Structure 1
Amino acid sequence: MPEQILIVLHQENSTPGRIGQALQRRGFHLDIRRPVLGDPLPETMDAHCGAVIFGGPMSANDPDDFIRREIDWINVPLKERAPFLGVCLGAQQLVKTLGGRVEPHPEGYAEVGYYPLHPTSDGRSLMDWPEMVYQWHREGFDLPDGARKLAGGDLFPNQAFAVGPCAFGIQFHAELTLAMMHRWTVRGAHRMTMPGAQGRRDHFEGRSVYDPEIRRWLENFLDLWIAADPRRKAEAAE
């Protein structure tokens, strides 16, 4: 098996945060691409053992060429049954790839801060989930055909889902580091004025309470995600 993970970021100074750190601790090399800056995406997953598309300030509905290319490209790991993870914008792009809809909240609400997460029976059968997760979005998505809902929320009913053996979309930001929270709450301060959003102090107070559980969830989830790769299972059986 190749031992590098494709990482897709959407801003020049963005990082994969704790997801990247956790993958590196597991011995994976991170192949970081920024299609928004002209980086190409691979035609096959032969050289990668998984792919993660992260979030960004843009929308999956934007007409930009790089957004459309990323949405089309997600078909590569889906067809090859390679592990794929979409985070926030990446999850919404996965929904678009599968023919689903991405839309703002009908009453204009946003989730910016910590909000409750409600796992489904399918979600609980996979693993334990945190009670509260960190959010930074004003659009949600419907559940595309063939997807299994793993968790929902109060304002946005779909928060995590799975497709096939090893493709997942999560609306929340388990990758968030303390440095990222400082950056986001300064540069994106205007988003904390939207209906439903929480103030900056609430973000940091929430982190002190909820972050350990989110960190544990992420470590367990990444192990599950990597182990679910049918190619890795086939190699282990030989």
Structure 2
Amino acid sequence: MSRPLYVIEHWALAEPDAGRRHLIARGHDVRVIEPWRGEVLPDLTGEEAGVMVMGGPQMVTDLADHPYLSDECRLIEQAMEKSVPLVGVCLGSQLVAHVLGAAVGPLTDGSQCFGYYPTRSTGDGSGLLPERLVTLNGNAEHWSLPEGARLLAMGESEAAPRQAFSYGETTIGLQFHPEVTRPILDQWQRDYGHVIGLPGTQPRAEQDEGFGRHDPALKAWYGRFLDTWFGPPAA
């Protein structure tokens, strides 16, 4: 019997992202759920292959405006209680941090991220992330490190400070976006181009150059990470 791997999405993507396609190609039973469209989240049994909570335009500081995000927080709690492998990406990582009691919000100087930023692994992250990786970020809010969590990666830019953490053996949060394909980046630039020019963001030409230069290494790492974190699909 296949074990579902749930992917929670928060907006209409231009196409399935690279991580979802990778997991499907590996044979995982990927099931996409979109609570923002009214779709109902599952009750976890503990036998699932994993849960991924992805990014989106919503903010943790606007939790009251998006009641389905509170439902996602309960799903995150279930995943951690039942030791289901859990990955939070950007908004997803912020929701995980929020569930763990950490502060989530904008940087004090008002900086935002939109572009490619150098990231370095910490000692705790050295087995999971390369020493240096240039990562795509697109966010206005960040998490502080939850109590009991391990900081895995730091950004070299003040606009992109903490980049990855783990909690226990089955939960990880990634502030950056390794899943974004070229069509999805085009969608970002079209739909959120109004933030380009704000402190911390990069011009579109720099983002385009960054995708061409850094995306192959980012995708190669992401595929290895997903294979490690979720393991092979059930036979």
Q: TM-score, normalised by structure 2?
A: 0.92
Number of residue pairs matched by the alignment? 231
Match for residue 147 of structure 1 among 143, 146, 149: 149
Structure 1 residue 123 corresponds to structure 2 residue 125: yes
Deviation for aligned residue 1:77:
0.6
Q: Contact 1:19–1:175 at 8 Å: present in 2 too?
A: yes
Instruction: Check the 8 A contact 2:136/2:178 in 1, yes or no.
Output: yes
CA distance in 2, matches of 1:157, 1:45: 35
Measure, in 2, the Cα distance between the counterparts of 1:195 and 1:120. Answer: 26
Secondary structure class of the residue paired with 1:169: strand
Match of 2:162 among 140, 158, 176: 158
Alignment TM-score, normalising by the size of structure 1: 0.91
Post-superposition shift, 1:72?
2.3
Paired letter, 2:138 = W
Structure 2 residues without counterparts, runs of 5 or longer: none
**Which whole-Å CA distance do the structure 1 matches of 2:209 and 2:153 have between them?**
24
Aligned-residue identity in percent: 31
Judging changes above 3 Å, is the alpha-carbon distance between structure 1 residues 41 and 129 closer, same or farther for their aligned structure 2 residues? farther
Q: 1:217 to 1:129 in 2, by over 3 A?
A: farther
Which letter does structure 2 place at the counterpart of 1:57? P
Instruction: Report the Cα offset of residue 2 of structure 1.
Output: 3.5
State the shift of 1:19 in Å: 0.6
Distance 1:176 1:130, change over 3 A: farther
Choose 60-69 or 161-170, whichever is displaced more.
60-69
Q: Which has the higher helix share?
A: 1
Q: Is the 8 A contact 1:5 1:50 kept in 2?
A: yes
Report if aligned partners of 1:129, 1:217 keep a CA contact under 8 Å in 2: no
Matched-pair contact (CA < 8 Å) for 2:45–2:82? yes
Structure 1 runs not aligned, ≥5 long = none
In 2, Cα distance between the equivalents of 1:119 and 1:46?
30
Cα distance between partner residues in 1 of 2:223 and 2:43: 29
Secondary structure at the residue paired with 2:57?
Answer: coil
Q: 1:45: Cα distance to partner? A: 3.8
Deviation of 1:102 after TM superposition, in Å, equals 0.4
Aligned to 2:218: 214
Coordinate RMSD, CA, aligned: 2.0
State the match for 2:25 in structure 1. Answer: 25
State how far apart, in whole Å, the 1-side matches of 2:55 and 2:92 are: 6
SS at match of 2:194: helix
Q: Which of 90, 93, 106 is equivalent to 1:91?
A: 93
Q: Which amino acid aligns with 1:84?
A: L
**In 2, distance between residues paired with 1:134 and 1:109?**
15
Aligned twin of 2:54: 54
Q: State the AA in 1 paired with 2:20.
A: G
Q: Secondary structure at the match of 1:39?
A: coil
Contact 1:16-1:175 at 8 Å conserved across structures: no
Residues 115 and 160 of structure 1: is their aligned pair in 2 closer, same or farther, counting only changes over 3 Å? same
Change (3 A) 1:173 1:45: farther
Distance 1:137 1:45 in 2: 32
User: 1:7–1:16: 8 Å Cα contact kept in structure 2?
Assistant: no
Paired AA for residue 177 in structure 2: H
Structure 1 residue 108: Cα displacement: 0.6
Indicate conservation of the 8 Å contact 1:119/1:152, yes or no: yes
CA shift digits 1:77-117 (9 cap, x unpaired):
10000100000000000000101110101101011000010
Match of 2:43 in 1: 43
